[in-house]
Homo-oligomer: A and B are copies of this chain.
Amino acid sequence: MSNSLVAMPAIPDIVIGRLPLYLRALIYMKNQGQLTTSSNELGRRLGMSSAQIRKDLSHFGEFGKQGTGYHINYLVDQLRQILKLDQEWRVAVIGAGFLGHALANYNGFIHRGFHISWIFDSDITKVGEDMGGVVVQPMDELEETIAREGTQIALLAVPAERAQAVTDRLVKTGVQAILNYAPINLTVPPDVQVGYSDPVVQLQHMTYYLDASRS
């Protein structure tokens, strides 16, 4: 597949958002020693229809064959390329509290395209502390470091009341993608992406299926 296909503009964002789920499931199968899979199997694993999966993947080319299904290694490589994960993205964590600590020590980033490279905090008692191999820097070095390193991705782990002000600084310095852990909506220019990490959204999905009378 060529890069011109990757840059095709008409692919709905909701489709892009499902590709990482396919990738995660495929890598899980790969690690189990599996070589091929089908849209049916992927669908069962992800709770989606096989037709949806085939349709999503068809936006990017012809990955499977009727009868033989998908070659897992090949599809993993293609999805990594589409999602630009054939490089490692260096990520800045803002906030060295409990959550920043947890993120710095999270080992789910490894081999999945990301590396926590910087941690910033405004609390000078935290500056200099080693978190998962990264030394906490003072917030007043934020702009210089991010501009110098060309950092495009930040994890925002600051209290809700500081989240917008920090976001404004990140955006001004060239950060293009923010994953926000604070329970507030952020305002950013249209060319900056914000993701929200919100456990409540996932819990509210699950309560639909729970027995309310038991609780």
Chain A interface residues (CB < 8 Å from chain B): 12-14, 16-17, 19-21, 23-24, 28, 47-49, 52, 82-85, 87, 89-91, 97-99, 101-103, 105-109, 112-114, 150, 152-153, 155, 157, 160, 176-177, 179, 182-183, 185, 193, 195, 197-212, 214-215
Check B106 against A102 for contact (C-beta < 8 Å).
Answer: no
- Chain B residue at minimal CB-CB distance from A207: B84
Q: How far is the CA of A87 from the CA of B106 in the complex (A)?
A: 33
Check A200 against B108 for contact (C-beta < 8 Å).
Answer: yes
Specify which chain B residues have a CB less than 8 angstroms from the CB of A97 in the assembled complex: 102
Known contacts A47-B14, A102-B97; A203 and B179 CB within 8 A of each other? yes
Which of B103, B113, B210 is A176 in contact with, Cβ under 8 Å?
A: B210
Specify which chain B residues have a CB less than 8 angstroms from the CB of A21 in the assembled complex: 201
Specify which chain B residues have a CB less than 8 angstroms from the CB of A150 in the assembled complex: 214-215
- Chain B residue at minimal CB-CB distance from A201: B20
- Chain B residue at minimal CB-CB distance from A195: B202
- Chain B residue at minimal CB-CB distance from A104: B98
Which of B98, B106, B200 is A101 in contact with, Cβ under 8 Å?
A: B98
Specify which chain B residues have a CB less than 8 angstroms from the CB of A16 in the assembled complex: 205, 208-209
Check B195 against A197 for contact (C-beta < 8 Å).
Answer: no
Specify which chain B residues have a CB less than 8 angstroms from the CB of A49 in the assembled complex: 12
Known contacts A13-B47, A200-B108; A82 and B208 CB within 8 A of each other? yes
Known contacts A204-B20, A204-B83; A105 and B114 CB within 8 A of each other? no
Specify which chain B residues have a CB less than 8 angstroms from the CB of A52 in the assembled complex: 14
From A14, A82, A182, A211, name the one whose CB has the most chain B CB atoms within 10 angstroms: A14
Check B212 against A84 for contact (C-beta < 8 Å).
Answer: yes
Known contacts A24-B201, A215-B87; A206 and B177 CB within 8 A of each other? yes
